């Protein structure tokens, strides 16, 4: 929202800025790395890619390197923002140069990927989404913001709200799963948590919604790949999550790397101007993804860097993340009349507006080294990370083995069970090695005796095996797509070896994505999907395994039975003319089922729930539905009651189910609750073939229950008001 006072101050500055200074504001610099070498990050990556150095060598060089922040450029007004300055002292030093030594004294804005916690790594977003808990999502965002701002960060490149239906895509780890509503609610909660309602607070962190748009639909699950889909599908399934996060007040938006039906998002005027600005009224800042403007040359849409800068600016891009195209070419483009002064001024305005809103002009030094030290990894932060981890891990199988009885002798297997640093997961840039707590640490803290299972030694004499399998953190996230979602051969061999011993097995899966867990289901008596749970992994896992905490997480993406099911595994698939059946000529595979191994919304607990007495009726605002849920077991628990609907006869084929709402309810043993949902009329609208938003009269099916597969149904004869 524009404030007249701020707009006046922006105009005053604009009137005094040279063309070069305007171009400088549009430039986000990543600095370059110096040490034993003098290279840009991009050059280093090229060396890894062409095999001149190994990835390990590159990591070592990165950790030994010092940043060169190109301070002469900063002094000359050629840098408006930095990517990845970490530490209050370093940020204050650079900010001092910007404020005291540049002609106009415009402060810097510093951006960093604070994705799931900062120093206190919380569960990866995919994991945290399984809590179905908007309050938790907001609280962990607040904690991340407190730590990150103390370390000199002003803006996070989060939330990512890319609906992710293909687990081969490594960045599914950063999403809230396969559903549009969940991604939208997740994004909204994160924006509120990061920003608060007062951006001038020292601990308020500007949120940048990404990756606009539909990056999660990259073809084949291959990162950076093309996205091509019908406009109806785009509007109905992919766009709503960005809209929700933007309308929650996010002050920045990052277009995606991919092209959308042939036009890269970085130069996509329909996205950056028509939808974002005109339709949604966004008046924050757009910032490209790293080097993405220059990469329009690789896409084959721009002839050269100048052409890429021209197209991006004219499409509505404001800031250039690290490609340097804007810095190098804005002046000549404006002088040649290829970019209007108005468009340039608008881009500068959008950037300066955010700097004013954050209070950086009046208060440029927002933290100190003392504040930074005091903010990190406090006991309260660890406690919240533990709570988040408890609420994120999904119990998939339990043949009565859990909760573990006291005094059992445990055989601890799988290298991940002993690993602290793999627990933080992808994109944990603020995490420090050693901060994490492994399963082994959890057992030690509980005083539970265990023996380590070694590959080359006979199995220990124990009562139960606790076995960790799955992915390491580098195996998901950016540039970590997989062609197979199977557990590794060594994980499967380990599980089989333990099963053959005849002793019961608890398997804990660490992963940044859904994996094919068939072999784990066969070999283990109990199976916990722990994802990458953050710094408090071990203690939280023990809380669940010994029954101190009753598992309550539910899957936000189905888990595949076979990789070849991807990407058609998602629950809101449309209907086909030949639904899968026993008959040969139906829509199915010869060698794998069409349904997931574990469905969307699924998760066990140590109690059981029974649903009854569903009712649904039309109201003036939409459909009101109710159901009774009863805790039929002997433990208190939290159940996620899920509300889906289906429009069985429509003008375009509609999804089998669509999540419309959910509520997490706490139930004591024997307790019943009546849970009510109001689905607004707007939820039933969809686009017809001509892109008109329409709603049908006729039956709407309401499906309520504890996961998408197991629901009760009530039909409503719906008349569109
Ligand atoms: C590339 C990633 O796609 C994006 O998500 C991230 O924010 C930027 N790099 C900055 O690190």
Which tokens go with 646? 């289906």
Between the CA of 252 and the centroid of ligand 1 the distance, in Å, is: 14
Paired sense of beta strands 394-398 and 410-413, if any: unpaired
Closest CA to 441 of 464, 466, 463, 417: 417
Ligand 1: does its nearest atom lie under 6 Å from the Cβ of 401? Answer: no
Specify the pairing of strand 505-510 against strand 450-452. Answer: unpaired
Considering the segment(s) 609-718 as one domain, its CATH architecture is: Sandwich (2.60)
CA 263/CA 286 separation, integer angstroms: 17
CA of 289 to the centre of ligand 1 (A): 6
The pTM for the full model equals: 0.97
Instruction: Look at residue 23 in the predicted model and tell me its pLDDT.
Output: 98
Nearest to 513 by CA among 560, 547, 546: 560
CA distance 145 to 119: 10
Which of 668-692 are b and which e, b meaning 16 or more Cβ less than 10 Å from the residue's Cβ? eeeebbebebebebebbebbeeeee
Q: Which of 114, 157, 175 to mutate to test the pocket of ligand 1 (most atoms within 8 A of CB)?
A: 157
Which residue's alpha carbon is nearest to atom 11 within ligand 1?
113
3-state SS class at 239: helix
113 lines ligand 1 (CB under 6 A): yes
CB atoms within 10 A of CB 103: 12
CA distances from 60 to 51, 57, 65, 472 (A): 16, 5, 8, 19
Percent of the chain with pLDDT over 90: 94
Q: Is the dihedral of CA 121, 125, 130, 135 positive or negative?
A: positive
C-alpha of residue 656 to centroid of ligand 1, in Å: 34
For the record, the structure tokens of 604 come out as 């066990």
The string of pLDDT tens digits covering residues 111-124 is 999 999 999 999 99
3-state percent breakdown (helix, strand, coil) of the chain, nearest 5 = 35, 20, 45
Helices (runs of H) and strands (runs of E) counted in the chain: 22, 28
Residue nearest to atom 1 of ligand 1 (CA): 290
Hey, which of 156, 254, 264 would you mutate to test ligand 1's pocket, going by the most ligand atoms within 8 Å of its Cβ? 254
Handedness of CA 310, 314, 319, 321 (dihedral sign): negative
Residue of the nearest CA to atom 4 in ligand 1? 289
Q: How many CA atoms lie within 13 A of 268 on its CB side?
A: 26
Strand order in the sheet with 394-398: 394-398, 526-529, 505-510, 464-470, 410-413, 450-452
**Which of 113, 213, 257 for a ligand 1 pocket mutation test, highest count of atoms within 8 Å of Cβ?**
113
Using a 10 angstrom Cβ sphere, with 0-12 exposed, 13-18 middle and 19 or more buried, the burial of residue 71 is middle
> Can you give the pLDDT at residue 54?
86
349 and 329 in contact (C-beta within 8 Å)?
no
Residues of the chain with CATH 2.60.40.10: 609-718
The rounded Å distance from CA 256 to ligand 1 centre is 9
- Residues 494 and 466: beta-carbon distance below 8 Å: no
The mean pLDDT value for 237-255 works out to 98
Whether ligand 1 lies within 6 angstroms of the CB of 88 is answered as no
Confidence of residue 35 (pLDDT cuts 50, 70, 90): low
pLDDT digits (tens, 9 = 90+) for 362-420: 999 999 999 999 999 999 999 999 999 999 999 999 999 999 999 999 999 999 999 99
Q: What is the pLDDT of residue 51?
A: 86
Which residue in 228, 322, 306, 213 sits closest to 268, CA to CA? 213
Atom 9 of ligand 1, residue of closest alpha carbon: 290
Does residue 157's CB lie within 6 angstroms of at least one atom of ligand 1?
yes
Q: Which is it for strands 526-529 and 410-413: parallel, antiparallel or unpaired?
A: unpaired
With a cut of 80, say whether residue 41 has pLDDT above it.
Answer: no
Average pLDDT, rounded, for the chain = 96
Place of tokens 């539910």: 554
| 171 ligand 1 Cβ < 6 A | no
**Alpha helices per DSSP H over 534-691:** 537-545
Candidates 535, 510, 229; CA nearest to 382 is: 535
* Strand residues in 327-448 grouped as ranges (E): 394-398, 410-413
Q: Which of 81, 80, 72 is nearest to 101 (CA)?
A: 72
| Per-residue exposure over 270-290, b if at least 16 CB sit within 10 Å of its own CB, e if not | bbbbebbbeeeebebbbbbbb
Please tell me the distance between residue 555's alpha carbon and the centre of ligand 1 in angstroms: 26
What band does 230 get if pLDDT is binned at 50, 70 and 90?
Answer: very high
Sorting pLDDT into bands at 50, 70 and 90, what band is 250?
very high
Residue 32 has what pLDDT?
Answer: 80
- Quote the pLDDT of residue 619: 97
Which of 82, 289, 428 to mutate to test ligand 1, by most ligand atoms within 8 A of the CB atom?
Answer: 289
Q: What CATH architecture does domain 384-561 belong to?
A: 3-Layer(aba) Sandwich (3.40)
User: Separation of 704 CA from ligand 1 center, angstroms?
Assistant: 38
Are the CB atoms for 174 and 579 separated by under 8 Å? no
Residues in Cβ contact with 297 at an 8 Å cutoff, skipping those fewer than 6 apart: 303, 304, 305, 307, 308
72-85 pLDDT, tens digit per residue, is 999 999 999 999 99
Residues of the chain with CATH 3.40.50.1700: 384-561
Question: Which residue has the least CA distance to atom 7 on ligand 1?
Answer: 157
Q: Indicate whether residue 289 lines ligand 1 (CB < 6 A).
A: yes
Cα separation, 544 vs 390, in Å, equals: 7
* pLDDT at 36 > cutoff 60: no
Cα 122 from Cα 639, distance rounded (Å)? 22
What mean pLDDT do residues 344-372 have? Answer: 98
How many other C-beta atoms are found inside a 10 Å radius of the C-beta of residue 52? 11
Axis-axis angle for helices 305-315, 325-335 (nearest 10): 80
Distance between CA 291 and CA 486 in Å, rounded? Answer: 33
Environment class of 382 (CB within 10 Å of its CB; exposed 0-12, middle 13-18, buried 19+):
middle
Looking at residue 37, its pLDDT comes to 61
pLDDT of 483-534, one tens digit each? 999 999 999 999 999 999 999 999 999 999 999 999 999 999 999 999 999 9
- CA 353–ligand 1 middle distance (angstroms): 23
Cα 589 to ligand 1 centre (Å): 37
Q: Is 290 in the pocket of ligand 1 (CB under 6 A)?
A: yes
Confidence bin at 657 (pLDDT 50/70/90): very high
* Segment (H or E) for 207: strand 206-212
Mean pLDDT of 637-655: 97
> Which position has the token pair 């070419």?
329
Exposure of 155 in the CB half-sphere (CA atoms within 13 A): 29
Positions annotated as catalytic residues are 289
């Amino acid at each position: 929202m524009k404030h007249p006072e701020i707009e006046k101050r922006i105009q005053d500055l604009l009137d005094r800025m040279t063309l070069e200074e305007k171009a400088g504001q549009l430039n986000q610099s990543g600095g370059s790395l110096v040490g034993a070498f003098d290279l840009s990050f991009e050059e280093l990556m090229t060396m890894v890619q062409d095999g001149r150095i190994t990835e390990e060598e590159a990591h070592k060089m990165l950790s030994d390197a010092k940043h060169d922040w190109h301070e002469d450029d900063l002094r000359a007004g050629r840098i408006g923002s930095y990517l990845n300055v970490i530490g209050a002292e370093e940020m204050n030093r650079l900010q001092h140069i910007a404020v005291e030594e540049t002609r106009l004294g415009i402060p810097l804005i510093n951006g960093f990927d604070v994705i799931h916690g900062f120093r206190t790594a919380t569960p990866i977003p995919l994991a945290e989404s399984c809590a179905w808990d908007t309050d938790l999502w907001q609280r962990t965002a607040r904690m991340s913001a407190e730590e990150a701002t103390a370390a000199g960060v002003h803006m996070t490149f989060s939330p990512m709200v890319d609906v992710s239906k293909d687990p081969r895509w490594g960045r599914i780890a950063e999403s809230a799963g396969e559903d549009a509503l969940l991604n939208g609610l997740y994004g909204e909660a994160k924006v509120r948590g990061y920003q608060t309602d007062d951006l001038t607070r020292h601990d308020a962190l500007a949120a940048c919604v990404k990756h606009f748009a539909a990056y999660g639909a990259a073809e084949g699950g291959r990162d950076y790949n093309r996205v091509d889909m019908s406009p109806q599908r785009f509007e109905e399934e992919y766009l709503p999550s960005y809209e929700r996060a933007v309308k929650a007040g996010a002050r920045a938006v990052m277009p995606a790397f991919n092209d959308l039906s042939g036009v890269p998002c970085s130069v996509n005027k329909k996205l950056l101007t028509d939808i974002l600005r005109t339709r949604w009224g966004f008046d924050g800042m757009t910032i490209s993804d790293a080097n993405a403007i220059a990469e329009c040359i690789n896409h084959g849409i721009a002839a050269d860097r100048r052409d890429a800068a021209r197209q991006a600016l004219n499409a509505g891009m404001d800031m250039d993340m690290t490609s340097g195209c804007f810095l190098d070419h804005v002046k000549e483009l404006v002088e040649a009349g290829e970019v209007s002064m108005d468009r340039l001024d608008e881009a500068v305005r959008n950037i300066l507006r955010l700097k004013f809103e954050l209070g950086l002009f009046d208060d440029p030094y927002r933290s100190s080294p003392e504040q930074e030290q005091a903010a990190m990894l406090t006991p309260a932060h660890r406690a919240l990370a533990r709570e988040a981890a408890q609420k994120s891990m999904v119990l998939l199988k339990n043949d009565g083995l859990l909760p573990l009885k006291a005094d059992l002798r445990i055989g601890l297997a799988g290298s991940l069970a002993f690993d602290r640093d793999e627990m933080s997961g992808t994109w944990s840039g603020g995490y420090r090695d050693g901060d994490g707590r492994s399963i082994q640490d959890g057992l030690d803290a509980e005083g539970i005796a265990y023996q380590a299972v070694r590959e080359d030694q006979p199995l220990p004499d124990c009562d139960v095996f606790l076995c960790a399998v799955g992915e390491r953190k580098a195996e998901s996230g950016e540039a970590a797509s997989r062609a197979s979602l199977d557990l590794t051969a060594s994980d499967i061999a380990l599980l089989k070896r333990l099963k053959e011993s005849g002793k019961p097995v608890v398997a804990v899966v660490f992963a940044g994505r859904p994996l094919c867990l068939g072999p784990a289901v066969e070999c283990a008596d109990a199976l916990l999907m722990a994802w990458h749970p953050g710094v408090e992994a071990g203690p939280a896992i023990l809380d669940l395994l010994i029954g101190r905490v009753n598992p309550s997480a539910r899957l936000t993406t189905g888990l595949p039975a076979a990789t070849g099911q991807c990407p058609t595994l998602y629950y809101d698939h449309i209907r086909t003319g030949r639904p899968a059946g026993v008959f040969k000529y139906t829509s199915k595979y010869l060698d794998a089922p069409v349904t997931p191994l574990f469905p969307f919304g699924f998760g066990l607990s140590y109690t059981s729930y029974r649903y009854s007495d569903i009712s649904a009726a039309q109201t003036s605002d939409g459909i009101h539905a109710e159901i009774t849920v009863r805790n039929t077991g002997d433990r208190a628990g939290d159940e996620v009651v899920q509300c889906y609907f289906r429009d069985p006869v429509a003008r375009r084929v509609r999804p089998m189910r669509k999540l419309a709402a959910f509520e997490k309810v706490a139930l004591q043993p024997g307790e019943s609750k009546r849970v009510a949902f109001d689905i607004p009329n707007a939820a039933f609208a969809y686009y017809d073939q001509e892109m008109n938003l329409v709603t049908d009269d006729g039956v709407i099916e309401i499906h309520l229950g504890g996961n998408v597969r197991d629901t009760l149904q009530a039909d409503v004869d719906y008349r569109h008001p």
